[in-house]
Structure 1
């Protein structure tokens, strides 16, 4: 049974608060839990923290996007798939927040802004219809997978904890994109894909520091 509209709004508000306040909880074990030690210099630790803060912001945006798109989707099967992906993205959110604590760093100071902007994008995508919304997911996950692959190259070689988290995130993002594609995603027009890349560039550059 679908929830009454006020209840959906309350759940969305609760999710937003937990997301931006770094209170997310994972449903799966942290892939770095078995790695017991770090051997990072001060400079390497700072660089890893910047990259993991970027990844945490990406997961804030993923929570907002999936929450908005599932709430405004047009068919139950699409809503269920988006909600499933959202749960796995919350794992990523919790893992990256925990890693930032281990690196003696913090999450982005602009988290509420990232969430609000991504939620608005998710609503617009959903209002364009399920095929377009799923296409937005496919393109987002394609770009995120490439971004995570670049982080595997950029992270310090001896930062095994961050690498384990990022690799599992990359695997999950590929699966989310494939699932959306299988449900009938449409191809995003080139101007939209270009705009998404530009927005992602602004976000990643800013979140590394702020």
Structure 2
């Protein structure tokens, strides 16, 4: 992922706050020789304090063999994206039709080392943390090894702890454009009101204040 200086995260807090409310991504795992990578969409819990990601997958998932062969993986999270037509980005001294279209988006890539979790008690603890994150309101019975209702399901899945070793974060929102162009884009995003436009607009306004 190319990251220009003006698109880079201002600091760790910026991408960590964004990631705290974006907990669905794609896990890329190196495939066998001659094969493309495995890419698995999944929900996850990012723990900034411990520098790790928690998730789980079904035991029949073909990722496990690839993870055991090579535990170095990449978790990619992308959201708050919007297409920006060329005329919106045209400088004041050029015709609107000469403007360059682009994409706005926020992206965080976590390079990780995978640790498989198979111990029943450790799996139960991992699952309880995940449920606590995604269901803070409660409503589900706790997971406990050997106990109903979920204990019998534990053998059918494996836990996954991803130790974060490197982070690349990008917030691509016209931060290198002049104020006039930025104002035009802010107005156009509000008027269009498509999926992702409000979030993209907020990122542009937030980052230029910084």
TM-score, structure 2 as length reference = 0.23
**Greater RCO, 1 or 2 (C-alpha within 8 Å, sep 6+):** 1
Which structure is higher in strand share? 2
Higher Rg of the two aligned structures:
2
